[in-house]
Structure 1
Amino acid sequence: MKALIEGILKFQTEAFPQRTDLFKHLSTTQQPGTLFITCSDSRVIPEMLTQQEPGELFVIRNAGNIVPSYGPEPGGVSATVEYAVAVLGVTDIVICGHSDCGAMTAISQCKCLDHLPAVASWLRHADSAKVINQGRTHLSPAHKLSSMVRENVAAQLTNLLTHPSVRLARQQGQLNLHGWVYDIESGAVEALDGRTNQFVSLSEHPQTCAYGSNPETVAA
Structure 2
Amino acid sequence: MPIKRIIEGLNEFHDNYFSIHRELFEQLSHGQNPEVLFITCSDSRIDPCLITQSPPGELFVIRNVGNIIPAYGTLNSGEGAGIEYSIQTLGIKEVVVCGHSHCGAMKGLLQIGNLAQQMPLVYDWLRHYGEPTRRLVLDNYKDYSSDKLLKIAIEQNVLTQIENLETYPIIRSRLHSGQLTLHAWIYEIETGEVFAYDASVGKFKILENRPFPVPNLLIRLPSE
Give TM-score, length-normalised by structure 2.
0.91
Matches within 5 A, 1:36-185: 36-71=38-73, 73-115=75-117, 116-123=119-126, 124-135=128-139, 136-185=141-190
Contact 2:196–2:211 (8 Å) recurs in 1: no
Distance 2:58 2:109 in 1: 33
1:32 Cα deviation from its structure 2 partner: 0.5
Percent identical across equivalent pairs?
39
Describe the superposition over 1:132-184 as per-residue Cα deviations: whole angstroms up to 9, x where unpaired.
11021454211110110001000111111101111111112110001100110
Contact 2:181–2:213 (8 Å) recurs in 1: yes
Greater Cα offset, 205-214 or 58-67:
205-214
Describe the superposition over 1:62-81 as per-residue Cα deviations: whole angstroms up to 9, x where unpaired.
00000000106421000000
Contact 2:43–2:65 (8 Å) recurs in 1: yes
4+ residue segments displaced more than 3 Å: 212-217
1:110 Cα deviation from its structure 2 partner: 3.8
Distance 1:13 1:180 in 2: 35
Partner-residue secondary structure (3-state), 2:7: helix
1:18 Cα deviation from its structure 2 partner: 1.1
Unaligned regions of 5+ residues in structure 1, if any?
none
Are residues 5 and 151 of structure 1, via their aligned partners in 2, closer, same or farther at CA, if it must alter by over 3 Å? same
Partner-residue secondary structure (3-state), 1:189: strand
What CA RMSD, in Å, does the superposition of the two structures yield over aligned residues?
A: 1.9
Unaligned regions of 5+ residues in structure 2, if any?
none
| Residue correspondences, number | 216
Distance 1:20 1:127 in 2: 46
Give TM-score, length-normalised by structure 1.
0.93
Distance 1:197 1:207 in 2: 15
Partner-residue secondary structure (3-state), 1:113: helix
Distance 2:25 2:68 in 1: 31
Query: What amino acid sits opposite 2:196 in the alignment?
Result: A
Distance 1:108 1:101 in 2: 11
Partner residue of 1:12?
A: 14
Structure 2 residue 205 is matched with structure 1 residue 209: no
Query: What amino acid sits opposite 1:155 in the alignment?
Result: T
